[in-house]
Structure formats: structure tokens, C-alpha cells
């Protein structure tokens, strides 16, 4: 049997013919397995959805209770069998509830890892290495230039700026699901004990994280506060809102942005970011390679991102590898900052 | 080096001039001599390291990384120094606790290091710096800081240390050398004013605003003069005599960079005492050549006699800033213009002439001249005209871009609908996005209509559109040729781009037989099927014989 008989790329997403299910389909299908709640992986309108309890709750928050015909919660580590194929969900460490899905059939195991990271993050279940024959990996930061620094040191830059400019509001661009809560948690770990403010669009998801037992300290909504009085405050904003009028009403704001893309200067400048914070929920180059090795997989499929370099590296260490060239991923969670970050504020030449 | 690296890092992300100024001034205040002086030298372009070439850096990284991975990374990052800074592997063996090099150490060591010893020294420094330090070091030694700081801004920050006028710094600057200890001592009130009065300092030029349709109703044509906006390089030609009798002649760019070295032919012709605001052009047999021709003389380290003969440089004068020691900037434009006419006449060199005024009595009459400069006395030089400058007769010569005094009125571009065919990642500001687009128009082929490439565009889109274009390319790639992606382009599938351009020429180098001047993306036509894009005939009718 070839691995392709068990899982194969299609325009709708990864398809498993013997079980007749899709993993993270980009269009609506009869039966979908979802790795995590970011909107490019979790879309509404499927007939039946199998995902972790947290992912199901996130989908209900974003799309309403009737986001799918039927839903089933997958427990961590407990196999679910469909037409003789077993599917097991293991933590991916990307955001709360994010899973890798191990697919086993007739002695062959393929792990579809979704998006994942290895670094410590109290807002997500820690990544688990799942031994497999074929490892399907993302490659958002699959280039040797991407080495994420210690996130604590990045948050220290933010706190240093707050000390230097105590009268300026510090707007931190971060995606509403996952990144915003992780940044809040990092800011708390760095000892910041004043209230953290957030954009209204992040409210439901942040309250959900809190309800799941993640302590983020006092988090207030921006709209409830007098914006003029927010000099020296930390404000979590959605990337899209940073170029709105919304962001201009704060006292002399400093524009920060939390993303792995901030490693590349042109990327930060293209987004008009003044204080880039290199904080990512994806694996960096070292973590991708380390994870591939640890799974013991003899074959690697690369879904989306900078697949060329990772496929090349696999070849240099004797691993069979190929890009899947799936379309439609990488739009949320760590989307390209020019789409979402504030417009350039370069003065006219 | 770390302090300097931190400064460059902050400056690179800081768009606001005043914030940049504050950061630089703060650095000068909190950094001792000679470190701050070398930082000033780096920002004013006073340092050059002859042996530190890009090739050397490529060699160092090639010894340490996989060539394919380096190639992909460089293609993505779009900047050699940054790619190397990020990819540089941690040194093998036990960590040594040597401190990273200071800026002074880097500058003085490089000045005295032979070409053969350089790779080892540079590698040692790179081993001891972090990503930001490595980036700053490589930017410094390759002379490509690109932090949005002009020499003028750095000098303004020095002036701010002692409440001095930046022009005072310009006056003493030519006699000074890095690390400028006597300059800092003077502005900080600890020493005498450095000698050496510059007879040809840079004075920031006056710039214009683009005119909007609604402006005309508010402006009285009788209050204004108009002249051609030549498609060359705006320069300031300043010349004078030192106390010891030596002649000084300098050509400054708009931002105050001294570009005299590339134009010895002009320096010779600048026999006057004063400063002229004008356009740098190449003239052959009295005819103004296209910007492409001028470009071939720019950024040359060495100017050969053949260059001088084939590309004779020329100044077309717009304004007179200083004449025979007298600063004319407070006088009205009309008075300066009269003085300029006499001044240019007295120079008596064919290399310096007057940009003619364009007479008009109504905005409609001026619009007609703009539409057809050839008939409005510009004759054959019409091709080298970018548009018109409209200047208030009473306007003083004010540095910067004051409102309501000078306007520019560019010619309307031509536009054509093309189909996107290939894309490549860009460099610089656009790096890591697919931002270099090759586009084509339809023509009759042996087996029906086919697309033929007619040009390449790198700009014209907003940051948001860039994101959309990048995503379109990634999702519609049908072929990869190294860094180039071929995107879907058939009559029914693909993307139409409205391309604006300034002119069209026959070209034997292009498959289509035409070359566009200054093409850029005017609009993305998501709505238009590629089959309805323009045909080559639409371009051919615009070709001039």
C-alpha cells in the first residue's frame, strides 16, 4: 500500500479515501476532521465535524452554534475509528485545543500535524512527538533565516519601550485567536501587573481562554476606557484594526506587532511597524527539523509555507519529501503582515 | 558596535523625521568619543571600506551553509547582509567570552587590514555578535545602511546638541574628518569653532507639491511663472574659492549627497561663485537625452574619458540661491529669476544654460503647453519633459516643501491593459513578496492569439494590493523557473493589470519590439477577463518613428 492510498492532497484539502473524510478542508464537505480553530483550517458548513472540545468551542464562538450538521469531540490520545481507519488527536502546541491527527490503517501511520510549535506556551497544550511513517508538516517559517528568539526577550523590548515612553499607548498587533492571549500571558510572566486592554473583537475568544483556566490577569475592553487616558498602557489590537481610525485615537501610539514575520526587516517595515516583536506560534527552522527527526518518519509531506527549503533539507539528510502544494492555508494566525498590518507611514520622498 | 547596532535598528523602523532626530541626538549625547564620531561618519557616508565587498561576504556564508538553502533564503529576504546576519551559524566549539567589537575597533581595524586577512577578522566579529549586531556590521562595511537618514539629518542631530543651526555645521564640515572630536567639542561648548569655512556648502532645496484639479480655481495665473520640469536629476551646483585661493566646486543631490566625483566635466565648467538650483541632464548636440541615458553616468566610481565624451553632463538652471557671496533665498522668485538670467550668461559655458520660462495667460493655455510641449517651444526636447513647474512669482526660496508656493504638474501617463505572466520576489522594501511582475499583451501567433511580454513593473500598488497580488501569484503558479513563477495566463484565466507608462520606444531587445518607460501598475483589474486585455497593435500606434 502506498501512503497516498490513505491520505492524498485534493483541491478541497487532505482526503482519506478509505474513511471518506477530509482533514482541514477548505471547502464544505460531508465529513471533516479539524486540527485547530484558525479560520483557514476550521471553516463552517461541513456535514459532520470531529475535533477537540476546545476547537469545537472556538468554532461555535466564531461561526455560531450551528456551524456544522453534527459535531463530535475527540479526546486527547483516544483513537476514533471510521471505516477501519483510526484517527487519534495529539496536542500540537500551536493554540488552545490545536491537534495533530495521527491516521493509522493496515500498519501505516501518517501524522497530519496542522500548525505546531515546540516552545513553552502556557496558553496551549504542549506538543507531543507522535512516531509515524509519514509526517505531514507545515513550513510557514521553513527557511534557515527564521530562528525565533526567546519570546521573553521580545516582550522585554515592549516593557523597555513602556518605560522609555510612559506617556505613549503601546498598540500590539496580534491575531485574535491564540497570539493575543499568548502575548497577554507573556506580558504577565514579565511582571506587568497593570490592566491589559483589548480590542472588542478579541473579547469572546479571550474570555473563552480564561474560562478554560488560563490566567491572563485583568483584561479590559478598550471601548470601556477613556482612550485619552491610555498613555503607557498595553493594548492588544487586531492586525486589521491597526490601520483604522480606531487606532489613531490613542495618545501618540507606538505600533508594535507580534509575529514570526518580524524577523525579516522588510516585512516589519512593509507593515509600518515601529516595534517588531518576534513571537510566533509556528515552528522555526530548527524546530521543524528537530520535529521531523524525532517522529522517526521516513517520508515527509510539506503542506504550506516555504516548502522548497524544507523539502531540500530532507533530501540532504536522506528523507523522502515532497510538497503538497495545498492552496488556501496560511491566511490566518500568521498571515502575511502586509495584508493586515497598518499601512506604511513613510513620509513622502 | 552593539550601541550603534541598536541605533541603526531603531532608525530602520522609525518613519518620523523628528523621532529619528531625537534617537540620533540621544545617541550622540550618551555615547563617548570616538564611538559617536564614527557613528556620525557612518551616517554621513564618510566611511568607505575598499576591501569589504559583497563577494567576500558571499564567500564567508558559502563556507558555512548549504548553497540551495542560502539561495532560497536570499531570494526571500531580498538583502544579502540581512540574510547572512540571520543565517550565520553559531560558532562551533566551546563558547569564548570575548566581547563583541566596538565600532571604533571595526573602523580602525578595517582601515589597516589587508585584503587577505579580512575574511578571518570579519568571521570572528560575526561569531561574537547577535543577529542585529551582524546586520549592522555588514550594512556598515558594505556601505548600504539604508536607514532613511540623510547626511543632512545626521548633521542636524549634531547641531541639536548645542542649539546650533545645521547650516553652521555644513560650513565647517568640509574641513573635518572622523571621528569629529573637535566638532562635538565645539557644539557642546568645550572647544573653539573648527576652522575651514566652506565656500560651497549644501543648502536644502525648495520642493513642490503636486497640483490638484481643484487648486486651479483658487490660483490666479498672473501670480505665477511656469517652466518645464526636465526629466533628469535635481541638483545644486555650488562653487567658490577657499581663502588660500583653491577652487571648490560641488554638485549636490536633492538630499545633500555630494555627487561631484562622478562629474568632473561639470566641476570644470562651474567657474562661478554661488549656488545654482538646476537639473542634471545629458545633452548630445544640444538635445536633451532620455533619463535612461543619464542613468548610465550615475553611480560610477570611475569616469572614463569615453564616458565623458559619450555622456556630456549639463546643468539646466532653474533658480539662483547664492550669487557672489550674497544669499538670495529671501528675495522673490521673479527677482531671483532676473539675476539668474544674468548669472548664467556670465558663466559663459555651454555646460550651463537656462531652463526657459513657458509663457501663458490662462491655466487653459498652460494646459495646452503641457499637453504638447513640442509645439510650446520645447521642440525635440519634448521627450525629456516630465511636466511643468508652476512657481509663485513672489515666493522666497524656502527649504523643504512649503505649501501654496510651488507646484508640479506632470504629464498624463499612457495606460494599457496587460495580462500578468510571470512574477518574482522583489528586493528592498518589497522583499519576500512576489512584487516584480512581467506582463504581456495579445498578438497573433502561428496557432492563434498569444501573449507577448511587453514589460516589467515593480510598483504602483498599495501595500494591501501587494498582499493580494502576492497571494494571487502563490495560488496560481503553473511553472517555476528558479526564482521566477509563471502564473496562469489564458484568455479565460489570469489577472489583468492596467499599466501606466510615460513613453514608448522601439526595442530590439524585447520580443515584442517595444519598451516602456517608467511602467507601473495603475490598477488591478480583478473584474476583467484576460481575453479582453489590449493587443500589441494598441501599443504600436503610439510608437513614434
DSSP string for residues in B259-296: -GGG-HHHHHH--SSEEEEEEEEEEETTEEPPHHHHHT
Per-residue confidence (pLDDT) for residue B96, from 0 to 100: 63
Query: Per the CB < 8 Å rule, is B13 touching A316?
Result: no
Task: Choose among A146, A267, A346: nearest Cβ to B15.
Answer: A346
For A162, the grid coordinates are: 513602556
A1 forms beta bridges with none
* Highest-scoring range by mean pLDDT, A309-323, B245-259, B495-509: A309-323
Element (H, E) at B463: helix B463-475
CATH number of residue A188's parent domain: 3.40.50
Query: pLDDT of A27-45, one tens digit each?
Result: 999 999 999 999 999 999 9
pLDDT range class, residue A144, cuts 50, 70, 90: very high
Per-residue confidence (pLDDT) for residue B371, from 0 to 100: 83
Only one residue has cell 503601546, namely: A170
Q: Write out residues 127-146 of A within 8 Å (CB-CB) of B.
A: 143-146
CA A286-A287-A289 angle, to 5 degrees, is: 70
Task: Give mean pLDDT, residues A195-204.
Answer: 93
- Mutation target to probe the B interface, by most B beta carbons within 10 A, among A139, A145, A305 is A145
Q: Which of A156, A149, A186 is nearest to A275 (CA)?
A: A156
Task: Report how far apart, in Å, the C-alpha atoms of A159 and of each of A185, A195, B13, B220, B275 are.
Answer: 14, 14, 18, 55, 50
Decide if B79 touches A, using CB distance below 8 A.
Answer: yes
For residues A49 and A124, state if they share a domain: yes
Per-residue confidence (pLDDT) for residue B213, from 0 to 100: 81
| A341 vs A143, higher pLDDT | A143
Cis preceding-peptide flag for B34 (omega within 30 of 0): yes
For residues A112 and A63, state if they share a domain: yes
CA A327-A137-A8 angle, to 5 degrees, is: 55
CATH number of residue A62's parent domain: 3.60.15.10
Domain assignment present for A336: no
Per-residue confidence (pLDDT) for residue A306, from 0 to 100: 85
Rounded CA separation A339/A225 (Å): 28
Query: pLDDT of A285-297, one tens digit each?
Result: 999 999 999 999 9
Decide if B433 touches A, using CB distance below 8 A.
Answer: yes
From chain A, the residues in CB contact with B15 under 8 A are 272, 274, 344-347
Homologous superfamily of domain range B414-540: Nucleic acid-binding proteins (2.40.50.140)
Name which CATH class applies to B2-142.
mainly alpha
For residues A22 and A120, state if they share a domain: yes
Task: Choose among B12, B87, B429: nearest Cβ to A144.
Answer: B87
Rounded CA separation A118/A290 (Å): 10
Q: Which of A102, A224, A243 is nearest to A171 (CA)?
A: A243
Q: Write out residues 256-285 of A within 8 Å (CB-CB) of B.
A: 263-276
From chain B, the residues in CB contact with A348 under 8 A are 401
* Tally of helices (H runs) and strands (E runs) in chain A: 10, 19
Q: What is the ipTM of this complex?
A: 0.89
Rounded CA separation A325/B475 (Å): 9
For residues A7 and A72, state if they share a domain: yes
Residue B400 pLDDT exceeds 60: yes
Rounded CA separation B352/A233 (Å): 59
DSSP state of B485: E
pLDDT range class, residue A341, cuts 50, 70, 90: very low
Query: pLDDT of B270-321, one tens digit each?
Result: 999 999 999 999 999 889 987 778 877 876 767 888 888 999 999 999 999 9
Write out the DSSP string of A164-184. Answer: H-TTS-EEEE--TTTHHHHHH
Rounded CA separation B101/B115 (Å): 19
Domain assignment present for A191: yes
> What is the domain partition of chain B in residue ranges?
2-142, 209-410, 414-540
The phi, psi pair for B368, rounded to 5°, reads -65, -40
Query: CB-hemisphere CA count at 13 Å for B207?
Result: 11
For residues A7 and A133, state if they share a domain: yes
Name the 3-class secondary structure at A258. strand
Domain assignment present for A181: yes
Query: Per the CB < 8 Å rule, is A275 touching B68?
Result: no
Alpha-carbon gap: B490 to the closest alpha carbon of chain A (Å): 20
Write out the DSSP string of B57-121. Answer: HHHHHHTTS-HHHHHHHHHHH--HHHHHHHHPPPPSSSPP-PPPPPHHHHHHHHHT--TTTHHHH
Pairs across A and B, CB distance < 8 A: 100
From chain B, the residues in CB contact with A316 under 8 A are 66
Task: Give mean pLDDT, residues A298-314.
Answer: 93
Q: Which of B293, B309, B38 is nearest to B154 (CA)?
A: B38
Q: What is the mean pLDDT of chain B?
A: 88
Task: Choose among A144, A149, A348: nearest Cβ to B65.
Answer: A144
Round the CA-based radius of gyration of chain A to a whole number and report it.
Answer: 20
Task: Choose among B17, B431, B471: nearest Cβ to A266.
Answer: B431
Backbone φ/ψ region at A250: left (φ over 0), alpha (ψ -120 to 50), beta: beta
Task: Choose among A145, A147, A272: nearest Cβ to B76.
Answer: A145
- Mutation target to probe the A interface, by most A beta carbons within 10 A, among B30, B73, B233 is B73
Query: Per the CB < 8 Å rule, is A143 touching B73?
Result: yes
pLDDT range class, residue B231, cuts 50, 70, 90: confident
Rounded CA separation A160/B490 (Å): 54
Write out the DSSP string of B126-173. Answer: HHHS-HHHHHHHHHHHHT---SS--HHHHHHHHHHHTT--HHHHHHHG
Domain assignment present for A58: yes
Fold of B209-410: D-amino Acid Aminotransferase; Chain A, domain 1 (3.30.470)
Q: Which of B300, B231, B310, B277 is nearest to B406 (CA)?
A: B277
Only one residue has cell 489590449, namely: B534
Query: Per the CB < 8 Å rule, is A264 touching B82?
Result: yes
Asked if B184 contacts B36 with a C-beta cutoff of 8 angstroms, the reply is: yes
Q: Which of B102, B100, B66, B124 is nearest to B179 (CA)?
A: B102
For residue A159, the enclosing domain spans 151-279
Rounded CA separation A48/A35 (Å): 14
Per-residue confidence (pLDDT) for residue B407, from 0 to 100: 95
From chain A, the residues in CB contact with B135 under 8 A are 265
Comparing alpha-carbon positions, the chain B residue that sits nearest to A344 is B463
For residues A210 and A93, state if they share a domain: no
pLDDT range class, residue A161, cuts 50, 70, 90: confident
For residues A231 and A187, state if they share a domain: yes
Domain assignment present for A344: no
For residues A126 and A196, state if they share a domain: no
Residue A343 pLDDT exceeds 50: no
Query: pLDDT of B414-467, one tens digit each?
Result: 888 999 999 998 876 667 789 899 999 999 988 889 999 999 998 888 888 888
Backbone φ/ψ region at A232: left (φ over 0), alpha (ψ -120 to 50), beta: left
Alpha-carbon gap: B479 to the closest alpha carbon of chain A (Å): 12
Rounded CA separation B469/B430 (Å): 12
Query: Per the CB < 8 Å rule, is B433 touching A275?
Result: no
CA A217 to chain centre: 22
N residues, chain A: 349
Decide if A306 touches B, using CB distance below 8 A.
Answer: yes
Only one residue has cell 492586525, namely: A239
Q: Which of A227, A134, A123, A112 is nearest to A178 (CA)?
A: A123
N residues, chain B: 545
Residue A148 pLDDT exceeds 60: yes
Rounded CA separation B233/B415 (Å): 25
Task: Report how far apart, in Å, the C-alpha atoms of A212 and of each of A237, B203, B213, B520 are.
Answer: 22, 64, 59, 51
Q: Which of A270, B79, A97, B149 is nearest to A257 (CA)?
A: A270
For A26, the grid coordinates are: 477548505
Task: Give mean pLDDT, residues B226-246.
Answer: 90
Which own/partner pairs from A215-223 qualify as long-range (CB within 8 Å, at least 24 positions apart)?
A: A215/A185, A215/A188, A216/A181, A216/A184, A216/A185, A216/A188, A217/A184, A217/A188, A217/A193, A219/A184, A219/A195, A220/A195, A220/A196, A221/A197, A222/A197, A222/A198
Q: How many other C-beta atoms are found inside a 10 Å radius of the C-beta of residue B31? A: 17
Decide if A313 touches B, using CB distance below 8 A.
Answer: yes
Task: Give mean pLDDT, residues B129-155.
Answer: 88
Task: Report how far apart, in Å, the C-alpha atoms of A25 and of each of A30, A327, A329, B128, B226 are.
Answer: 10, 10, 10, 47, 63
For residues A175 and A120, state if they share a domain: no
Looking at the 3D structure of chain A, how many domains does it have?
2
| B426 vs B21, higher pLDDT | B21
Domain assignment present for A320: yes
Per-residue confidence (pLDDT) for residue B69, from 0 to 100: 95
CA B155 to chain centre: 20
Q: What is the mean pLDDT of chain A?
A: 90
Write out the DSSP string of B333-373. Answer: HHHHHHHHHHHHHHH--TTEEEPPB---SSHHHHHHHHH-T
Per-residue confidence (pLDDT) for residue A96, from 0 to 100: 97
Q: Which of A256, A279, A302 is the C-terminal boundary of a domain?
A: A279
For residues A296 and A210, state if they share a domain: no
For residues A93 and A155, state if they share a domain: no
Comparing alpha-carbon positions, the chain A residue that sits nearest to B19 is A274
Domain assignment present for A345: no
Rounded CA separation B129/B139 (Å): 14
Backbone φ/ψ region at B518: left (φ over 0), alpha (ψ -120 to 50), beta: left
Per-residue confidence (pLDDT) for residue B344, from 0 to 100: 95
CA A59-A60-A62 angle, to 5 degrees, is: 65
For B377, the grid coordinates are: 517651444
Task: Give mean pLDDT, residues A126-144.
Answer: 96
Element (H, E) at B216: helix B215-218
For residues A16 and A132, state if they share a domain: yes
Query: pLDDT of A260-287, one tens digit each?
Result: 999 998 888 777 888 999 999 999 999 9
- Mutation target to probe the A interface, by most A beta carbons within 10 A, among B62, B67, B69 is B69
Amino acid at each position: 500500500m502506498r501512503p497516498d492510498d490513505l491520505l492524498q492532497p485534493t483541491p478541497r484539502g487532505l482526503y482519506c479515501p478509505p474513511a471518506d473524510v477530509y482533514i482541514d478542508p477548505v471547502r464544505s464537505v460531508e465529513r471533516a476532521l479539524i486540527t485547530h480553530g484558525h479560520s483557514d483550517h476550521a471553516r463552517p458548513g461541513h456535514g459532520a465535524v470531529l475535533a477537540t472540545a476546545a476547537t469545537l468551542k472556538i468554532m461555535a464562538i466564531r461561526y455560531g452554534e450551528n456551524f456544522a450538521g453534527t459535531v463530535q469531540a475527540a479526546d486527547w490520545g483516544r483513537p476514533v475509528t471510521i471505516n477501519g481507519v483510526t484517527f487519534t488527536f495529539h496536542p500540537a502546541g500551536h493554540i488552545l485545543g490545536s491537534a495533530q491527527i495521527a491516521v493509522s490503517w493496515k500498519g501505516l501511520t501518517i501524522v497530519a500535524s496542522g500548525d505546531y510549535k515546540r516552545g513553552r506556551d502556557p496558553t496551549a497544550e504542549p506538543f507531543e512527538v507522535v512516531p509515524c511513517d509519514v509526517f505531514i508538516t507545515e513550513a510557514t517559517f521553513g527557511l534557515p533565516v527564521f530562528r525565533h528568539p526567546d519570546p521573553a526577550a521580545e516582550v522585554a523590548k515592549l516593557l523597555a519601550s513602556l518605560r522609555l515612553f510612559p506617556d505613549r499607548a503601546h498598540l500590539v498587533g496580534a491575531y485574535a485567536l491564540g497570539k493575543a492571549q499568548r502575548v497577554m500571558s507573556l506580558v504577565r510572566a514579565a511582571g506587568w501587573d497593570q490592566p491589559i486592554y483589548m480590542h472588542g473583537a478579541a473579547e469572546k475568544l479571550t474570555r473563552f481562554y480564561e474560562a478554560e483556566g488560563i490566567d491572563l490577569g485583568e483584561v479590559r475592553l478598550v471601548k470601556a476606557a477613556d482612550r485619552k487616558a491610555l498613555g503607557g498602557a498595553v493594548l492588544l489590537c487586531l492586525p486589521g484594526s491597526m490601520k483604522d481610525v480606531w487606532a489613531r485615537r490613542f495618545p501618540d501610539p507606538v505600533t508594535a506587532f507580534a509575529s514570526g514575520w518580524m524577523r525579516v526587516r522588510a516585512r516589519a517595515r512593509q507593515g509600518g511597524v515601529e516595534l517588531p516583536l518576534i513571537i510566533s506560534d509556528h515552528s522555526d527552522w530548527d524546530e521543524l527539523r528537530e520535529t521531523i527527526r524525532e517522529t522517526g518518519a521516513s517520508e515527509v509531506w510539506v503542506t504550506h509555507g516555504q516548502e522548497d527549503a524544507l523539502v531540500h533539507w530532507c533530501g540532504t539528510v536522506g528523507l523522502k519529501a515532497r510538497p503538497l502544494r495545498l492552496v488556501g492555508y496560511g491566511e490566518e494566525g500568521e498571515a502575511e503582515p502586509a495584508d493586515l498590518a497598518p499601512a506604511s507611514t513613510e513620509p513622502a520622498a | 558596535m552593539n550601541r550603534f547596532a541598536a541605533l541603526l535598528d531603531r532608525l530602520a523602523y522609525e518613519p518620523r523625521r523628528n523621532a529619528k532626530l531625537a534617537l540620533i541626538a540621544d545617541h550622540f549625547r550618551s555615547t563617548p568619543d570616538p564611538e559617536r564620531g564614527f557613528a556620525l561618519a557612518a551616517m554621513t557616508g564618510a566611511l568607505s571600506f575598499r576591501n569589504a565587498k559583497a563577494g567576500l561576504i558571499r564567500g564567508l556564508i558559502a563556507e558555512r551553509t548549504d548553497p540551495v538553502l542560502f539561495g532560497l533564503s536570499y531570494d526571500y529576504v531580498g538583502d544579502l547582509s540581512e540574510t547572512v546576519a540571520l543565517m550565520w551559524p553559531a560558532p562551533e566549539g566551546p563558547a569564548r567570552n570575548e566581547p563583541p567589537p566596538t565600532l571604533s575597533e571595526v573602523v580602525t581595524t578595517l582601515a589597516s587590514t589587508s585584503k587577505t586577512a579580512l575574511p578571518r577578522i570579519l568571521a570572528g566579529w560575526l561569531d561574537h555578535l547577535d543577529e542585529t549586531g551582524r546586520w549592522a556590521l555588514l550594512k556598515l562595511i558594505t556601505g548600504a545602511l539604508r536607514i532613511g537618514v540623510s547626511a543632512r539629518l545626521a548633521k542636524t542631530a549634531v547641531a541639536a546638541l548645542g542649539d546650533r543651526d545645521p547650516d553652521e555645521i555644513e560650513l565647517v564640515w568640509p574641513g573635518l574628518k572622523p571621528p569629529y572630536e573637535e566638532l562635538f567639542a565645539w557644539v557642546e561648548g568645550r572647544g573653539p569653532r573648527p576652522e575651514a569655512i566652506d565656500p560651497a556648502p549644501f543648502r536644502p532645496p525648495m520642493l513642490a507639491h503636486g497640483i490638484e484639479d481643484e487648486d486651479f480655481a483658487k490660483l490666479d495665473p498672473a501670480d505665477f511663472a511656469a517652466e518645464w520640469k526636465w526629466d533628469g536629476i535635481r541638483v545644486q551646483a555650488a562653487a567658490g574659492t577657499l581663502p588660500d585661493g583653491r577652487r571648490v566646486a560641488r554638485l549636490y543631490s536633492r538630499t545633500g549627497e555630494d555627487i561631484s566625483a562622478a562629474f568632473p566635466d561639470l566641476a570644470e565648467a562651474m567657474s562661478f561663485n554661488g549656488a545654482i538650483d538646476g537639473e542634471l541632464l545629458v545633452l548630445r548636440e544640444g538635445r536633451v537625452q532620455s533619463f535612461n541615458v543619464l542613468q548610465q553616468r550615475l553611480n560610477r566610481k570611475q569616469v572614463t574619458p569615453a564616458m565623458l565624451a559619450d555622456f556630456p553632463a549639463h546643468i539646466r538652471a532653474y533658480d539662483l540661491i547664492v550669487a557672489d557671496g550674497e544669499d538670495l533665498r529671501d528675495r522673490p522668485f521673479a527677482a531671483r529669476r532676473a539675476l539668474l538670467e544674468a548669472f548664467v550668461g556670465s558663466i559663459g559655458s555651454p555646460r550651463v544654460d537656462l531652463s526657459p520660462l513657458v509663457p501663458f495667460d490662462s491655466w487653459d493655455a498652460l494646459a495646452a503647453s503641457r499637453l504638447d510641449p513640442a509645439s510650446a517651444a520645447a521642440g525635440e526636447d519634448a521627450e525629456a519633459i516630465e511636466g511643468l513647474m508652476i512657481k509663485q512669482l513672489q515666493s522666497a526660496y524656502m527649504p523643504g516643501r512649503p505649501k501654496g508656493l510651488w507646484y508640479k504638474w506632470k504629464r498624463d501617463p499612457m495606460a494599457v491593459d496587460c495580462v500578468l505572466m510571470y512574477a518574482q520576489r522583489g528586493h528592498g522594501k518589497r522583499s519576500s513578496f512576489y512584487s516584480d511582475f512581467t506582463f504581456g499583451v495579445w498578438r497573433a501567433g502561428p496557432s492563434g492569439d498569444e501573449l507577448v511580454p511587453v514589460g516589467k513593473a515593480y510598483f504602483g500598488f498599495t501595500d494591501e494590493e501587494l498582499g493580494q497580488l502576492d497571494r494571487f501569484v502563490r495560488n496560481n503558479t503553473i511553472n517555476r523557473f528558479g526564482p521566477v513563477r509563471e502564473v496562469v495566463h489564458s484568455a479565460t484565466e489570469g489577472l489583468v493589470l492596467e499599466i501606466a507608462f510615460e513613453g514608448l520606444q522601439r526595442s530590439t531587445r524585447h520580443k515584442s519590439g517595444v519598451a516602456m518607460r517608467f511602467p507601473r501598475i495603475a490598477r488591478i483589474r480583478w473584474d476583467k477577463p484576460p481575453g479582453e486585455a489590449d493587443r500589441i497593435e494598441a501599443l504600436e500606434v503610439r510608437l513614434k518613428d
